Amino acid sequence: MRVLVTGSAGFIGFHLARRLLADGHQVAGVDALTPYYDVRLKEARHAILRRHGGFTAHIEKLENGDAFRRIVSEASPHVIVHLAAQAGVRYSLENPAAYIDSNIVGTFNVLEAAKAAKVGHLMIASTSSVYGANTKMPFSEADATDTPLTLYAATKKSTELMAHSYSHLWSLPVTMFRFFTVYGPWGRPDMALFKFVKAILEGQSIELYNGGAMQRDFTYIDDLIEGTVRLMACVPQRGAPVAGDSLSPVAPYRVVNIGGGSPVPLTEFVEQIERTLGRRAERKNLPMQPGDVPNTVADARLIEALTGFRPSTPVSVGIEAFVKWYTEYYAERADPPAESVISQT
């Protein structure tokens, strides 16, 4: 099968492309290598993928619609997995225009290219952040998502609506999948785990927002990739719902959470990092940052009904795998990981 992955040098895109290549698929990767965080990390991920004969890399911004449509036309993919996006909660307060350009304009160009190529299945990454101010737990795909708390969340919700309209108008099969705090080896430097491990190893304090009184439905990267790969075969079809489905009544369009439904308190997450590193963290308690939420919990019943799978890797296993990668990766380099924008979501 031919699969085009946007954001192939990113954390999730890299892992997905590597899994697809290992499964024998051909992968065309598209990534702009933007400097939101250390570009060297992105280049290292792409270098691993380039070792595989089935991988083709395209360094291009999705905002360049003509170039992207040419790439899609040449790759002729059966499936497009659109992962490229400007992520992060705090950064959306500092550079909101980046979210409009990448998430709105970029996704529009993906939709146009998928329509023109008559792609068999378009899969687009969304986020648990779209649940915004919702307080009912767990977050279900059927819940209203009309109260986003950041521009990042608003742009991702907008992409869901854009994709639904294209699915309805052009009978384009679309699966939107909402991620829940993904972590693991090769992770982004702006995420909590990377930040905490780096700070503890360097003898610096870690920042705990809301005094650490938060919990997250942490999803290990291998679980996320397994769920995504399984969903590839679950092509939405009009009038063919499963129990509790989010399938649209007017389009081959579905929204699916990818999370295990087992939230972990942030303080427990930090304690597990300390046990893994064998070091205590110096904590700096801070108020809740604007746009953040205290809790996220995924309703995992739909992904389990569709695929027979739900994420279940415990944080003890995931954190150990990350620490092993981190220490080995940076031990081979004279320079420490570069500073970057930090977000806990």
94-130 residue pLDDT tens: 899 999 999 999 999 999 999 999 999 999 999 999 9
Torsion of CA 6, 10, 13, 18, to 10 degrees: 120
Cβ atoms of 248 and 167 closer than 8 Å: yes
Contacting residues for 271 by C-beta, under 8 A, at least 6 apart:
none
Return the residue matching tokens 């911004």: 61
d(CA 8, CA 99): 18
From residue 324, how far is each of 88, 186, 327, 331 by CA, in Å? 25, 11, 6, 11
**Predicted confidence (pLDDT) per residue in 253-268, tens digit:** 999 999 999 999 999 9
Token reading at 322: 């990350």
Q: Which segments of the chain belong to CATH 3.90.25.10?
A: 187-216+261-296+313-331
Catalytic residue among 99, 152, 253, 326: 152
Domain 2-182+218-258 has CATH 1.10.443.10: no
Tell me the pLDDT band of 335, cut-offs 50, 70 and 90.
low
Rounded CA-CA distance 213/295 in Å is: 9
| Tokens representing residue 228 in the block | 């995504």
Question: How much is the pLDDT for 332?
Answer: 72
Residue 211 has pLDDT above 60, yes or no: yes
Mean pLDDT of 338-345: 41
Instruction: Please tell me the least confidently modeled range out of 183-192, 198-207, 334-343.
Output: 334-343
pTM above 0.85, yes or no: yes
More confident residue, 315 or 335: 315
Question: Is the domain covering 187-216+261-296+313-331 a CATH 3.90.25.10 domain?
Answer: yes
pLDDT above 70: residue 286: yes
Query: Where in the chain are all domains bearing CATH 3.40.50.720?
Result: 2-182+218-258
Percent of the chain with pLDDT over 90: 91
Q: How far apart are CA 321 and CA 128, in angstroms?
A: 24
pLDDT band at 234 (very low <50, low <70, confident <90, very high): very high
The one-letter code for the residue type at 219 is T
26 has which bridge partners? 2
At residue 68 the predicted structure's pLDDT band, cuts being 50, 70 and 90, is very high
What is d(CA 179, CA 217) in angstroms, rounded to the nearest whole number?
Answer: 10
The answer to whether residue 334 scores a pLDDT higher than 90 is no
Residues 301, 305, 306, 307: is their CA dihedral positive or negative? positive
- 152 in catalytic set: yes
